[in-house]
Structure 1
Amino acid sequence: MSATLYACGAAALAALAAAGERPPASGPLRIHPANPRYFADASGKAVLLVGSHTWNNLLDMGAADPPPRFDFDAYLDWMAKLNHNFIRLWAWELPSWDPSANNQSWSQRKRYFAAPQPWLRTGPGNALDGKPKFDLAKLNPEYFERLRTRVEAAGKRGIYVSIMLFEGWCMQFIADAWANHPFNPANNVNGVNGDPNGDGKGLEIHELAVKAVTAVQEAYVRKVIDTVNGLDNVLYEISNENHPPSTEWQYHIIRFIKDCEKSKPKQHPVGMTFQYKGGSNKTLFDSPADWVSPNPDGGYRDDPPPADGRKVVLNDTDHLWGIGGNAAWVWKSVTRGHNPLFMDPYDGLILGGRFEARFEPVRRNLGYALRLARRLDLAAMTPQGALASSKYCLAAPGKAYLVYAPDGGKVTVDLSAAKGSLGIEWLDPKTGKMEKAGAVQGGAPRELAAPFQGEAVLVLTATGP
């Protein structure tokens, strides 16, 4: 696609933004046939996915019972202002739990609650928490109506949503997790027992160890698919940070989703994320998933390796820091061909502080990166670290170069593949301001100097056809 067409597209997006509107998310996403580091939308254009996600954006969570309702519309407004286009929509398998396992700041909060859950609590009889037992044969309409409504609302705002189906961290690290899980035989009327070895942990629910458990999970996943299959902005994630023995179970659910969607109007990408603790990135890349979120091994936190296209990589701070990240990580990820995501404390209700200012650079630079990606022919651009002295360069050699200079100052870019001149623009990650700086002639390595102090992002685009 020509630079002129991309400029027209960027102008249209800018006009929509100025009017307070965003185009609907275009999809379903599919792996880009020419550049599998990215997904392609319905038009075939490569899409960079960036965004902030937070724990209670699907289930309400909090110390009250019932917990306070999450303001999803306000969340979408906030995402739009930041120019983000991706949400990781969180699952949580426990209706209540002791929150002290996660963070010391939770230690004074004796109990947290999450609602709604995917199954109805009908009884007869009470579960260990004193409420009616779950009937695992009866899915909860409220849960699936909320799921559909929120994914649909996000899509209208141009935001893609990865639906997390299961949550594995809680079962490993929350002391009373098994006592509160619906698959505990004391908590359901169906006689389902997800802890056949009786160790009080119930990790087997994510291991294909109990056929009755797998059947309930498959029925739930099938209902999720039926609920959202007609939407264009859907992705799936099997489970957050499940334990390494969950590998075959996760592979099974990935294949199950793909098999279910074969006969449906739309097919959506399926992802697998870091297995905590002790998981291997190789397990992710060997999986049948379309996209993955790795752990820090291999440099994904401090010096991300160049994406090679084996999978679309959603490089998520959740699996790199827990809560953390910085602007440098955003640009290192982008120039190495990854899609950066931020685990955001947001309003501080679950973890961290309320809209912590220290994370504003991460949030804002995610939006700046998407702004630039929409201007460029991303499908033609690949990691080309050897072309820049900083080693951070995403390029379509001869046509476009996106270079990150962590220390700012001067950076040398090898423009040998460029036959004519290229326009020069600098982005200041501190402010988001773009500054044009004339043009540079191609045909040889060229040294360019940032016009401001500190880290800098350089954009070079061919001025000819």
Structure 2
Amino acid sequence: MKTRSAKRCRLFAFAPAITCMLLGASTWCAFADTPERAASKPPIAGPLHVAPGSLFFVDADGRGIFLTGSHTWANFQERGVRGETPDFDYDAYLAFLDRFGHNFMRMWMWEHALRMQFVPADVPVRYEPLPYRRTGPGTAADGLPKFDLEQFDETFFRRLRARVETARAHRIYVAVMLFQGFSVEQKGTDGVDPHKGNPWEGHPFNVRNNVNGIDGDLNHDGEGIEVHTLADPRFTRLQERFVAKVVDTLGDLDNVLWEICNEGHRGSLAWQDHMAQFIRQIEKSRPLQHPIGITGAPLGTNELLTTSADWIAPTGKQWLTDPPRPSGGKRIVVDTDHIAPWNHDPTWPWRCLTRGCSFILMDGYMDFRLGSPDRPNPEWDDVRRAMGAARRASERLDLAQAVVDTKRAGTGFCLTVPGESVLVFQPDRGKPFTLTLEPGRYRGLWHDVWGEHETAITVTSDGTPQTLTPPRGDAAVLFLQRIR
């Protein structure tokens, strides 16, 4: 693939109205990393785990961890038109996360080598590297040698290891995606639309593309959703072999979480749960065990809660403005990708934090679909900044002991360590609200959703409700710590 200076900006009409900002290199330098940014995040300390009674994941030092970060589609594999789309600059992406104080990413995995459903069928969108060697004999749909599904391509696994290790150096947790729902079907179409790219055409389990005789399209309808079921033991054996190889590659790293599949189809739940239990069985005898996630859309939240997953990414518009309290023993990671993908409301991370949920952003960043712009869209900076501010605020509390108390504050958004500290979010600009505290004196701060415009406050409570008014006419955050 060519460098950015030589690329042609391809912006598809169906993408959101995001301008390709062809700014010079000096502008992009504004996103450069600084040691202070990375150092401000707590160091990674052992794999995250589920601690009884804690709303959030807890690390080996007993700290509760609010996960938040921008994730984007090409942060592991290259995707785009060869010779036209610039290579993904992973170091610049990590600097971008550091700049905003983010501590988490989903590392996207694509199973197919060719085609994208969001572009016309004649656009040769490619994904590379893939985990299997291309040995032939014969050529696959993309004109390259066919895959041998019994031979791994170490280039894929070396890149995977290097990227997760580098993220760790930046104090970033990585949810490693293992499978991709958009690789086996077009989605959103009634059958295959010949005018759109069909990812199944480029999938290694398409019988046209492998030398092993594997045909993932059991009903011959032009898509391969059967691959994400337990319908054929041959598929499952190959997938388990791949998962075991990924676990071998990354299993000693403590910044890893597993995500079984992005947006698997409605019939994939049993298969996803099988893969989660397979990982759990592998890791049971290993020194480190990592959290396993099963994520939503089109699978619903209630379905996800029935699985053996440690964490889920729920679906439903209520998570946008009024996130429910976590239930079912799962840790909740609210992902805009499954709820409102192009929403960048800076109050959203705070609504999630004060309801006991982590929050991550599906970030267009500089993707091929958006025309490979020379910098991320600055219109999204407000939510990116708010995410980092929420992460820093979460570290003021003993997050491992914090509970949601919607009745303590009149706003309904309140996270508290009873008798010790409280974090309240007021989304209604400048509006007074009631707050009930245990008797005592409290000291703390008001600030806006970006952690700026701080105002010190001291409160004395006799245990009865009192009315507090934000000092500015904006959405406000209040943190109070009891004075001993």
Normalised TM-score (structure 2): 0.87
The more displaced of 283-292 and 163-172 is: 163-172
Equivalent AA in structure 1 for residue 334 of structure 2:
N
Partner of 2:321: 302
Partner of 1:401: 422
1:331 positional shift:
1.0
- In structure 2, the CA distance between the partners of 1:437 and 1:267, relative to structure 1 (3 Å rule), is same
Partner of 1:363: 384
Q: Does 1:340 align with 2:359?
A: yes
Partner of 2:74: 56
Cα distance in 1 for partners of 2:84, 2:139 equals 17
Q: Does 1:240 align with 2:262?
A: yes
Equivalent in 164, 167, 181 of residue 168 of structure 1: 181
Cα distance in 1 for partners of 2:434, 2:392 equals 22
1:356 positional shift:
1.6
1:175 positional shift:
4.2
Equivalent AA in structure 1 for residue 454 of structure 2:
M
Summarize deviations over 1:231-268 as a string: whole Å, max 9, x none.
01000000000101001100100000000111112110
Partner of 1:460: 480
Cα distance in 2 for partners of 1:430, 1:23 equals 19
1:284 positional shift:
0.6
1:69 positional shift:
2.6
Instruction: After TM superposition, list the pairs within 5 Å mapping 1:53-202 onto structure 2.
Output: 53-64=71-82, 68-97=86-115, 99=116, 101-102=117-118, 106=119, 110-173=123-186, 175-202=197-224
CA contact (8 A) 1:273 1:284 kept: yes
Unaligned stretches of 5+ residues in structure 1? 1-14
Cα distance in 2 for partners of 1:107, 1:42 equals 48
Equivalent AA in structure 2 for residue 130 of structure 1:
G
The more displaced of 45-54 and 320-329 is: 320-329
CA contact (8 A) 1:425 1:458 kept: yes
Equivalent AA in structure 1 for residue 453 of structure 2:
K
Equivalent AA in structure 1 for residue 95 of structure 2:
D
Cα distance in 1 for partners of 2:83, 2:183 equals 19
Summarize deviations over 1:399-436 as a string: whole Å, max 9, x none.
211111111324334334x2211113111125633221
CA contact (8 A) 1:365 1:432 kept: no
- In structure 2, the CA distance between the partners of 1:214 and 1:319, relative to structure 1 (3 Å rule), is same
- Moved beyond 4 Å, runs of 4+: 18-23, 106-109
Cα distance in 1 for partners of 2:146, 2:228 equals 21
1:66 positional shift:
8.8
SS in 2 for 1:300: helix
More RCO (CA 8 Å, sep 6+)? 2
Calculate percent identity across the aligned residue pairs: 40
Partner of 2:8: none
- In structure 2, the CA distance between the partners of 1:19 and 1:397, relative to structure 1 (3 Å rule), is closer
Equivalent in 253, 257, 261 of residue 231 of structure 1: 253
Equivalent AA in structure 2 for residue 54 of structure 1:
T
Equivalent in 297, 300, 312 of residue 292 of structure 1: 312
Cα distance in 1 for partners of 2:293, 2:95 equals 26
Partner of 1:10: none
Backbone CA RMSD of aligned residues: 2.1
SS in 1 for 2:321: coil
CA contact (8 A) 2:120 2:197 kept: no
Cα distance in 2 for partners of 1:281, 1:397 equals 29
Partner of 1:3: none
The more displaced of 264-273 and 323-332 is: 323-332
Equivalent in 240, 258, 278 of residue 218 of structure 1: 240
SS in 1 for 2:207: coil
CA contact (8 A) 2:320 2:348 kept: yes
Summarize deviations over 1:39-80 as a string: whole Å, max 9, x none.
111111111111110000000112125963321111111111
The more displaced of 60-69 and 125-134 is: 60-69
Normalised TM-score (structure 1): 0.90
Equivalent in 326, 339, 342 of residue 345 of structure 2: 326
Unaligned stretches of 5+ residues in structure 2? 1-33, 187-195
